[in-house]
Amino acid sequence: MLNRTIAPPIKDAIEFDLTLKPYTFFELDNGVPVYTLDAGTQEVFQLELVFYAGNFFEKQKAVAGATNFLLKNGTSTKTAFEINESFEYYGAHCSRACYNETSVISLSSLSKHMDKLLPVIKEMITDSVFLEEELATYKQNSKQRLSVNLKKSEFVAARLIDAYLYGEKHPYGTYTNPEDIDALNTGLLKEFYKQYYLNGSCVLFVSGKLPADLQQQLNTNFGALSLKAHTGSLPVIEMAPATEKKYRIQNDTEGVQGAIRLARHFPDRHHPDFMKVMVLNTLFGGYFGSRLMSNIREDKGYTYGIHSYVQNHLQQTAWMISTEAGKDVSEATVEEVYKEMKLLREELVDEEELLLVRNYLIGTILGDLDGPFQLMGRWKNIILNGLDEKYFYDSVNTIKTIPAEEIRELAKKYLNPEDFYELIVI
């Protein structure tokens, strides 16, 4: 009999053997790739249609985002209200989002209602009408939201640091101004919609408790459309980074906080250093127990939180440090960040701290493997970045085995203040 007076032995997360459940792959009649994960105990599903229709492909600012948003705002047979009602009647949730390279239409619902909901998604993709009044409302709301956000230093800092890194004309560095929203018209949106949705490149990800006739349902609704698989690579757009590295911007004369961004260019996920730097980044500023948190939040009290991360872009990317601090200690905060960089370049991390970071990262992966939607999220990230399951297992092995000496060498290579763009917006 189990003796409940004796605590079970503690097992480090790095002792677990992690397995990434494989997906099932097939193609629709039109060649569109479909990745599925039939898993979980609840009778629910999630469908994500990923289009290569992000702002990488727009000829005029704000067109990609507006087109994606208005897909749900009216077809030739349904108003925006009726489309939303079609989902809400079945307790479903349909969202859309636009990113740099891709845009997404996402649907979540009970598995038994899939056959009722897929035709609504199909109608959004094939029969959106982009009414003038819907666009006018979108423009008004977007300008109002932008006006409010431009008063926030952290919003301005996020826009500017990307512009410095990549250049304002690069898709990763561009940002929207009120005049760009004013310039939107239904003709531009319909042209973008026709090229990148009606006749665009698409990939489907489906997860959850899936019906036996899933492939037939998807083919019935999407297999005869003029969609196709994405072939080749994204267009290469030259970066035009700023020549200056240090910036101080006054955004709000009455502001009490400074929004701080430090960033440098960094290789993408295909570079051999990428997985290793994920361990260094976590140690440096990637979780609540990081060096930056311990120093700048816990010891100095300059901020409520500070984080470092590598941007998840498909092409050029960047290593970013982000925080907000009192304007009187913003400069001191930057200096403390550089001090932590120096320590990582000069000193070996001790095994106890490194074990904590290893366990944290493996624990994070374990969380991502808990449930079909999380599993598919990890697969989607791998697939869209042009990687395979080897990347997953190599990442786990790197987390478990990278030595302190190699972490120090990576810090010497990448954590040098002179390589970082430095911005404080108050």
- pLDDT class of 309 with cuts at 50, 70, 90: very high
402: closest CA among 263, 264, 283? 283
Q: Are 173 and 259 found together in one domain?
A: no
Confidence category of residue 412, pLDDT binned at 50, 70, 90: very high
CA 345 remoteness from chain centre: 29
Amino acid identity at 369: L
Q: What pLDDT shows up at residue 9?
A: 78
Cα of 424 vs its chain's centroid, Å: 24
pLDDT at 410 over 90: yes
Question: How many domains does the chain divide into?
Answer: 2
What pLDDT digit, counting tens, does each position of 318-363 carry?
999 999 999 999 999 999 999 999 999 999 999 999 999 999 999 9
| Same-domain check for residues 292 and 215 | no
Residues 218 and 292 in one domain: no
Crossing angle of helices 351-368/389-401, nearest 10°? 150
Does the pLDDT of residue 10 top 90, yes or no? no
Which pLDDT tens digit goes with each residue over 195-226?
A: 999 999 999 999 999 999 999 999 999 999 99
What is the distance between the alpha carbons of residues 154 and 261, in angstroms, rounded to a whole number? 9
- Pair 260, 379 in one domain: yes
> What is the reported pLDDT for 158?
96
Same domain, 99 and 206: yes
Could you read off the pLDDT of 131-167 as tens digits, one per residue? 999 999 999 999 999 999 999 999 999 999 999 999 9
Report CA 27 to chain centroid distance, whole Å: 26
Sign of the Cα pseudo-torsion (159, 321, 289, 152, in order): negative
Does some domain include residue 292? yes
Is 354 a domain residue?
yes
User: In the prediction, which pLDDT does 312 show?
Assistant: 84
89 and 192 belong to one structural domain: yes
Both 204 and 251 in one domain: the answer is no
Tokens standing for 352?
């106890």
* pLDDT of 263 over the 90 cut: yes
Q: How far apart are CA 87 and CA 47, in angstroms?
A: 14
- CATH number of the domain encompassing residue 334: 3.30.830.10
Over residues 303-332, mean pLDDT: 94
pLDDT for the residue numbered 21 = 94
Q: Which of 106-110, 121-125, 230-234, 382-386 has the lowest mean pLDDT?
A: 230-234
Measured CA distances, 348 to 289, 413, 424 (Å): 17, 15, 31
Residues 76 and 206 in one domain: yes
| pLDDT averaged over every residue in the chain | 95
pLDDT at 91: 95
Tell me which residue of 77, 293, 257, 55 sits closest to 175, measured CA to CA. 55
Instruction: Indicate the residue among 187, 222, 257 that finishes a domain.
Output: 222
Domain boundary at 172, 207, 222, which?
Answer: 222
Query: Same domain for 181 and 114?
Result: yes
Q: What pLDDT score was predicted for residue 289?
A: 94
Please name the helix (run of DSSP H) or strand (run of DSSP E) that holds residue 277, with its range, or none.
Answer: helix 274-281
- The answer to whether position 231 is within a domain reads no
pLDDT at 3 > cutoff 90: no
Tokens of residue 139, six digits: 């423009």
Share of the chain above pLDDT 90, in %: 89
Report, as an integer, the average pLDDT of 121-134.
96
To the nearest whole percent, how much of the chain has pLDDT over 70?
100
Q: Strand pairing partners for 261?
A: 322, 423
Full residue range of the structural domain in which residue 33 is found:
24-222
Same domain, 204 and 102: yes
Last residue of a domain, one of 190, 222, 254: 222
Phi-psi region of 386 (alpha: psi -120 to 50; beta: other; left: phi over 0): left
Question: pTM of the prediction?
Answer: 0.92
Q: 179 with 88, same domain?
A: yes
186 pLDDT more than 80: yes
Tell me, what's the pLDDT at 136?
97
pLDDT-based confidence at 238, cuts 50/70/90? confident
pLDDT average, residue stretch 51-66: 95
Q: Quick one: pLDDT band at residue 265, thresholds 50, 70, 90? A: very high
- Across the range 257-278, mean pLDDT stands at 95
Query: Does residue 12 or residue 160 have the better pLDDT?
Result: 160
Give the dihedral sign, CA 195/199/202/206: positive
Q: Are 320 and 292 in contact (CB under 8 A)?
A: no
Specify the pairing of strand 317-326 against strand 421-425. unpaired
Cα 156 to Cα 398: distance, rounded to the nearest angstrom: 36
Specify the pairing of strand 202-208 against strand 44-51. Answer: antiparallel
pLDDT bucket at 68, cuts 50 / 70 / 90 = very high
- The band of 118, judged by pLDDT with boundaries at 50, 70 and 90, is very high
52 part of a folded domain? yes
Is pLDDT above 80 for 44?
A: yes
- Asked if residue 260 has pLDDT above 90, the reply is yes
| pLDDT exceeds cutoff 80 at 256 | yes
Q: Quick check: 11 pLDDT over 80?
A: no
Would 13 be classed as within a structural domain? no
Q: Position of tokens 């990745």?
A: 35
Give the pLDDT score at 286: 96
Q: What is the structure's pLDDT at 303?
A: 94
Pair 352, 385 in one domain: yes
- Name the CA dihedral angle for 352, 353, 357, 358, rounded to a multiple of 10 degrees: -30
Q: Decide if 239 is inside a domain.
A: no
